[in-house]
Every structure is written in C-alpha cells, then in structure tokens.
Copies of this chain bind each other. A is one copy, B any other.
Amino acid sequence: MMPEPDVFQAIAHPARRQLLDALREREQPVRELAARFQVSRPATSQHLRLLLDAGLATERRAGRENFYMLTPEPLVEVSEWLAFYETFWSDRMKALRRTLAELEGSRSDRESRQ
C-alpha cells in the first residue's frame, strides 16, 4: 500500500476493472471473485495484489477467507486528469452538433429517403 504504483496501470487490465466493478457491490473473498469470472485463483490473487498496491482495495482477513473491499479514492487522480479533456470533448460535441444541424438544414431541400 505504501508504494502506491500507477493507478492508470492498475485499471488498464480488463480483469482488474471487472474485479473493481464486482467490489462496488460489497466486500468479497478471493474464492468468490475467482469463481465469478472464470479466472484461476492465483491469477485473481495476483490482480488483487496489484489493486492493493495501487490503493484501490484493502483486505480484511476473516478466518481462512480474505475479504477485499473497494477503496476508490485513487481513482480521483484519473478523474482529475480526465477533467481537462471533458471541456474539450464537449466543445467538439457542440461543434459536431452544429455541423449536423447545418447538414440537416441543407438536406431539407431534397427530403426523400426514409
């Protein structure tokens, strides 16, 4: 947990995003997570370790089970990085909508198909 390596790297793998998605519901033991996604238990353990290191999950030992719980705060870094692009793409969306509206206008002459 101290090393806190790249969150972007942590969410890059589909299997790890699936794990995070599953952990949104509730904390879950490895056994359950592994069964759910047809991923072998060792592979699941290894992905979970990476999520731990990225600070995206915590573990809670209960008997022989190890429950993993979502701690989504590090995702804020991704969110903040994305924020710079959101205005950008909404501008582009507006421009696109404008262009489509213009096309729509110029098409009203030759209303024909459909």
Contacts and interface: CB of A to CB of B under 8 A. Distances in A.
Contact of A89 (B12, B20, B76, B81): B76
Copies of chain A in the complex: 2
B85 A75 contact: yes
A70 interface: yes
A84 B24 contact: yes
Interface of A: 6, 8-9, 11-12, 14, 17, 20-21, 24, 70-73, 75-76, 78-79, 81-82, 84-86, 88-89, 92
A52 B86 CA distance: 19
Contacts of A92: 71-73
25 contacts: A6-B12, A6-B14, A8-B11, A8-B12, A8-B14, A8-B17, A11-B12, A12-B12, A17-B81, A20-B85, A21-B84, A24-B85, A24-B88, A70-B88, A72-B85, A72-B89, A72-B92, A73-B92, A75-B82, A75-B85, A76-B89, A78-B78, A78-B82, A79-B86, A82-B82
